[in-house]
Protein backbone atom coordinates (compact mmCIF):
# COMPACT_ATOMS: atom_id res chain seq x y z
CA UNK A 1 0.00 0.00 0.00
CA UNK A 2 2.54 2.56 1.19
CA UNK A 3 6.29 2.41 0.97
CA UNK A 4 8.56 4.92 2.65
CA UNK A 5 12.20 4.99 1.61
CA UNK A 6 14.97 6.75 3.53
CA UNK A 7 12.69 9.56 4.59
CA UNK A 8 14.14 12.53 6.45
CA UNK A 9 12.60 15.78 7.61
CA UNK A 10 14.64 18.71 8.90
CA UNK A 11 13.68 22.12 10.19
CA UNK A 12 15.64 25.30 10.83
CA UNK A 13 17.53 24.88 7.56
CA UNK A 14 18.75 21.41 8.40
CA UNK A 15 19.80 22.12 11.96
CA UNK A 16 17.12 20.01 13.58
CA UNK A 17 16.34 16.53 12.29
CA UNK A 18 12.85 15.41 13.22
CA UNK A 19 12.59 12.32 11.02
CA UNK A 20 15.85 10.53 10.45
CA UNK A 21 16.24 8.31 7.42
CA UNK A 22 13.16 6.17 8.01
CA UNK A 23 12.13 3.25 5.80
CA UNK A 24 8.81 1.54 6.39
CA UNK A 25 6.28 -0.47 4.44
CA UNK A 26 2.57 -0.63 5.15
CA UNK A 27 1.19 -3.78 3.53
CA UNK A 28 -2.29 -4.01 1.96
CA UNK A 29 -5.07 -4.88 4.38
CA UNK A 30 -3.03 -4.37 7.53
CA UNK A 31 -3.52 -2.29 10.62
CA UNK A 32 -0.30 -0.69 11.78
CA UNK A 33 0.00 1.14 15.06
CA UNK A 34 2.80 3.65 15.54
CA UNK A 35 3.68 4.46 19.11
CA UNK A 36 6.53 6.07 20.99
CA UNK A 37 7.31 8.95 23.31
CA UNK A 38 5.95 12.48 22.94
CA UNK A 39 7.95 14.42 20.42
CA UNK A 40 9.23 11.22 18.81
CA UNK A 41 8.09 12.34 15.37
CA UNK A 42 4.83 10.39 14.94
CA UNK A 43 2.64 13.29 13.84
CA UNK A 44 5.39 14.56 11.58
CA UNK A 45 5.51 11.17 9.88
CA UNK A 46 1.71 11.27 9.39
CA UNK A 47 1.95 14.77 7.88
CA UNK A 48 4.69 13.62 5.51
CA UNK A 49 2.46 10.77 4.35
CA UNK A 50 -0.58 13.02 3.80
CA UNK A 51 1.54 15.73 2.15
CA UNK A 52 1.19 18.45 4.80
CA UNK A 53 4.96 18.47 5.11
CA UNK A 54 7.53 17.86 2.39
CA UNK A 55 10.47 15.59 3.19
CA UNK A 56 14.02 16.90 3.08
CA UNK A 57 15.12 13.60 1.65
CA UNK A 58 13.68 10.24 0.69
CA UNK A 59 10.69 8.99 -1.23
CA UNK A 60 7.12 7.90 -0.59
CA UNK A 61 5.27 5.47 -2.85
CA UNK A 62 1.53 4.81 -2.75
CA UNK A 63 0.33 1.73 -4.61
CA UNK A 64 3.60 1.76 -6.50
CA UNK A 65 3.33 5.39 -7.58
CA UNK A 66 5.89 7.96 -6.42
CA UNK A 67 3.85 10.57 -4.51
CA UNK A 68 6.77 12.41 -2.91
CA UNK A 69 6.10 15.61 -4.86
CA UNK A 70 2.34 15.32 -4.97
CA UNK A 71 0.03 17.89 -3.38
CA UNK A 72 -2.21 17.12 -0.42
CA UNK A 73 -5.22 17.22 -2.75
CA UNK A 74 -3.81 14.71 -5.22
CA UNK A 75 -2.85 12.32 -2.45
CA UNK A 76 -6.37 12.60 -1.00
CA UNK A 77 -7.81 11.84 -4.42
CA UNK A 78 -5.59 8.78 -4.76
CA UNK A 79 -6.94 7.43 -1.48
CA UNK A 80 -5.03 8.77 1.51
CA UNK A 81 -7.10 10.13 4.39
CA UNK A 82 -5.79 11.78 7.54
CA UNK A 83 -7.51 12.45 10.87
CA UNK A 84 -5.55 15.20 12.62
CA UNK A 85 -4.28 14.96 16.18
CA UNK A 86 -5.65 18.47 16.72
CA UNK A 87 -8.86 18.91 14.75
CA UNK A 88 -9.08 22.17 12.82
CA UNK A 89 -11.83 24.64 13.74
CA UNK A 90 -13.71 26.78 11.25
CA UNK A 91 -16.15 29.66 11.29
CA UNK A 92 -19.56 29.06 9.78
CA UNK A 93 -18.74 25.62 8.33
CA UNK A 94 -21.04 22.96 9.79
CA UNK A 95 -20.49 19.28 10.54
CA UNK A 96 -22.78 18.31 7.65
CA UNK A 97 -20.75 20.47 5.24
CA UNK A 98 -17.49 18.74 6.15
CA UNK A 99 -19.00 15.26 5.97
CA UNK A 100 -20.39 16.03 2.51
CA UNK A 101 -17.13 17.52 1.25
CA UNK A 102 -15.32 14.50 2.60
CA UNK A 103 -17.67 12.02 0.95
CA UNK A 104 -17.33 14.03 -2.26
CA UNK A 105 -21.04 13.83 -2.99
CA UNK A 106 -24.43 15.11 -1.87
CA UNK A 107 -25.12 12.79 1.04
CA UNK A 108 -28.60 12.86 2.52
CA UNK A 109 -28.84 14.01 6.13
CA UNK A 110 -29.58 10.42 7.13
CA UNK A 111 -26.48 9.11 5.37
CA UNK A 112 -24.29 11.78 6.91
CA UNK A 113 -25.73 11.02 10.34
CA UNK A 114 -24.58 7.42 10.11
CA UNK A 115 -20.96 8.53 10.33
CA UNK A 116 -21.67 10.50 13.49
CA UNK A 117 -23.46 7.54 15.03
CA UNK A 118 -20.39 5.41 14.32
CA UNK A 119 -18.34 7.60 16.63
CA UNK A 120 -21.07 7.60 19.26
CA UNK A 121 -22.50 11.06 18.71
CA UNK A 122 -26.23 11.66 18.70
CA UNK A 123 -26.32 12.71 15.09
CA UNK A 124 -29.35 14.99 15.16
CA UNK A 125 -27.74 17.17 17.81
CA UNK A 126 -24.50 17.65 15.93
CA UNK A 127 -25.18 17.58 12.22
CA UNK A 128 -26.01 21.31 11.99
CA UNK A 129 -23.46 22.50 14.53
CA UNK A 130 -20.65 24.70 13.37
CA UNK A 131 -17.22 23.12 13.64
CA UNK A 132 -15.91 25.83 15.95
CA UNK A 133 -14.70 26.21 19.51
CA UNK A 134 -18.22 25.83 20.90
CA UNK A 135 -17.66 22.07 20.52
CA UNK A 136 -15.80 20.32 23.32
CA UNK A 137 -12.40 18.73 22.71
CA UNK A 138 -13.82 15.21 22.69
CA UNK A 139 -16.68 16.21 20.41
CA UNK A 140 -14.30 17.80 17.92
CA UNK A 141 -12.12 14.73 17.99
CA UNK A 142 -15.02 12.39 17.26
CA UNK A 143 -16.35 14.63 14.50
CA UNK A 144 -12.86 14.61 12.97
CA UNK A 145 -12.96 10.81 12.92
CA UNK A 146 -16.50 10.73 11.46
CA UNK A 147 -15.43 13.11 8.67
CA UNK A 148 -12.47 10.94 7.76
CA UNK A 149 -14.57 7.75 7.82
CA UNK A 150 -16.83 9.36 5.19
CA UNK A 151 -13.91 9.39 2.75
CA UNK A 152 -13.79 5.60 2.59
CA UNK A 153 -10.13 5.80 1.70
CA UNK A 154 -7.72 3.00 0.91
CA UNK A 155 -5.24 4.21 3.51
CA UNK A 156 -6.42 6.10 6.55
CA UNK A 157 -4.08 7.65 9.08
CA UNK A 158 -5.53 8.40 12.51
CA UNK A 159 -3.35 10.54 14.76
CA UNK A 160 -4.16 9.67 18.39
CA UNK A 161 -7.86 9.06 17.76
CA UNK A 162 -8.42 8.06 21.38
CA UNK A 163 -7.28 11.38 22.83
CA UNK A 164 -10.05 13.06 24.80
CA UNK A 165 -12.54 10.28 24.13
CA UNK A 166 -14.33 8.84 27.14
CA UNK A 167 -13.99 5.25 28.23
CA UNK A 168 -17.42 4.14 27.10
CA UNK A 169 -17.00 5.48 23.58
CA UNK A 170 -13.52 4.08 23.41
CA UNK A 171 -14.72 0.48 23.06
CA UNK A 172 -17.02 1.52 20.24
CA UNK A 173 -14.13 3.24 18.55
CA UNK A 174 -12.10 0.06 18.59
CA UNK A 175 -15.01 -1.77 16.96
CA UNK A 176 -15.15 0.95 14.31
CA UNK A 177 -11.50 0.41 13.42
CA UNK A 178 -12.07 -3.32 13.22
CA UNK A 179 -15.09 -2.89 10.94
CA UNK A 180 -13.22 -0.45 8.71
CA UNK A 181 -10.89 -3.19 7.64
CA UNK A 182 -13.73 -5.42 6.52
CA UNK A 183 -15.60 -2.72 4.63
CA UNK A 184 -13.06 -2.23 1.84
CA UNK A 185 -10.86 -5.04 0.61
CA UNK A 186 -7.14 -4.54 1.19
CA UNK A 187 -7.74 -1.25 2.99
CA UNK A 188 -4.87 -0.36 5.32
CA UNK A 189 -5.05 1.67 8.49
CA UNK A 190 -2.28 3.47 10.33
CA UNK A 191 -3.10 4.54 13.86
CA UNK A 192 -0.83 6.63 16.02
CA UNK A 193 -1.59 5.76 19.61
CA UNK A 194 -0.34 5.40 23.15
CA UNK A 195 -3.18 3.07 24.18
CA UNK A 196 -2.59 -0.56 24.95
CA UNK A 197 -6.08 -1.47 23.73
CA UNK A 198 -5.33 0.02 20.34
CA UNK A 199 -1.90 -1.57 20.20
CA UNK A 200 -3.73 -4.80 20.90
CA UNK A 201 -5.74 -4.72 17.65
CA UNK A 202 -2.67 -4.02 15.50
CA UNK A 203 -1.17 -6.45 13.05
CA UNK A 204 2.17 -4.71 13.36
CA UNK A 205 3.58 -2.20 15.80
CA UNK A 206 6.18 0.47 15.08
CA UNK A 207 7.98 2.32 17.87
CA UNK A 208 9.19 5.73 16.76
CA UNK A 209 11.63 7.43 19.06
CA UNK A 210 13.71 10.49 18.45
CA UNK A 211 12.88 10.43 14.74
CA UNK A 212 13.99 6.85 14.26
CA UNK A 213 12.28 3.48 14.12
CA UNK A 214 13.39 1.89 17.34
CA UNK A 215 11.33 -1.26 16.95
CA UNK A 216 9.08 -2.74 14.31
CA UNK A 217 7.43 -6.12 14.41
CA UNK A 218 4.36 -8.29 14.69
CA UNK A 219 2.02 -7.31 17.50
CA UNK A 220 2.28 -10.65 19.25
CA UNK A 221 6.04 -10.38 19.38
CA UNK A 222 6.35 -6.71 20.29
CA UNK A 223 3.45 -6.00 22.61
CA UNK A 224 4.57 -8.13 25.58
CA UNK A 225 7.94 -6.51 25.34
CA UNK A 226 6.50 -2.98 25.24
CA UNK A 227 4.10 -3.29 28.13
CA UNK A 228 5.79 -2.42 31.34
CA UNK A 229 8.87 -1.08 29.64
CA UNK A 230 9.71 2.52 29.09
CA UNK A 231 9.65 2.28 25.30
CA UNK A 232 6.05 3.45 24.94
CA UNK A 233 6.19 6.13 27.58
CA UNK A 234 7.79 9.50 27.32
CA UNK A 235 11.37 9.67 28.36
CA UNK A 236 12.68 12.80 29.93
CA UNK A 237 16.38 12.17 29.79
CA UNK A 238 17.14 15.53 28.24
CA UNK A 239 15.44 17.58 30.91
CA UNK A 240 16.71 15.42 33.72
CA UNK A 241 20.21 15.81 32.47
CA UNK A 242 19.83 19.58 32.24
CA UNK A 243 18.52 19.69 35.79
CA UNK A 244 21.37 17.54 37.03
CA UNK A 245 23.96 19.76 35.40
Partner 1 sequence: MKLDKIQQYLLKEIADLTDVPAGAYNIRSNSQSIGRQSSANITITPKTDVSGIDIRIKDGTKNESVHIPVVMTESGLKEEVYNDFYVGDNADVEIVAGCGIDNCGNHDSEHDGIHRFFVGKNSKVKYVEKHFGSGEGSGKRILNPVTEVYMEENSFVEMEMVQIKGVDDTVRTTIAELKEGASLVVRERLMTHNEQKAYSIYTVSLNGKNSTADVVSRAVARDNSYQKFEAKIVGNAECKGHTECDSIIMDNGQILAVPALEANNVDASLVHEAAIGKIAGEQIDKLMTLGLTEAEAEQEIINGFLR
The residue ranges that bind Mg ion (CB under 5 A) are 42-43, 85
Residue 87 touches ligand ATP, criterion: CB under 6 A? no
Q: Which is nearer to ligand ATP, 41 or 120 (CB)?
A: 41
> Which of the residues 4 through 23 are near ligand ATP (CB under 6 A)?
11, 18
Instruction: Identify what 92 binds: ligand ATP, partner 1, Mg ion, none; CB under 5 to 8 Å per kind.
Output: partner 1
Instruction: Identify what 38 binds: Mg ion, partner 1, ligand ATP, none; CB under 5 to 8 Å per kind.
Output: ligand ATP
Specify the stretch interacting with ligand ATP by CB under 6 A; choose among 37-45, 54-62, 165-173, 199-207: 37-45
Q: What is the 3-state secondary structure (H, E, C) of the chain?
A: CEEEEEEEEEECCCCEEEEEEEEEEECCCCEEEEECCCCCCHHHHHHHHHCCCCCCEEEEEECCEECCCCCHHHHHHHCEEEECCCCCCCCCCEHHHHHHHHHCCCCCHHHHHHHHHHCCCCHHHHCCCECCCCCCHHHHHHHHHHHHHCCCCCEEEEECCCCCCCHHHHHHHHHHHHHHHHHCCCCEEEEECCCHHHHCCCCEEEEEECCEEEEEEEHHHHHHHHCCCCCCCCCCHHHHHHHHC
> Which of the residues 69 through 98 are near partner 1 (CB under 8 A)?
71-73, 76-77, 81-82, 84, 88, 90-94, 97-98
Q: Which is nearer to partner 1, 14 or 92 (CB)?
A: 92
Instruction: Name the minimum Å distance from CB 221 to partner 1.
Output: 33
Amino acid sequence: MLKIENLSFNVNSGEKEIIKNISLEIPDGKLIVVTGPNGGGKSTLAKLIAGLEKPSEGKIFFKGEDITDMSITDRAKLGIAFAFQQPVKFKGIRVIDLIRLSAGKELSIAEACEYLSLVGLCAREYIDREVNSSLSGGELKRIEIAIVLARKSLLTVFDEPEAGIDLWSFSNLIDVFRQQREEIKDRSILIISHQERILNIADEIVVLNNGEIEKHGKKDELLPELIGTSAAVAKCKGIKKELDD
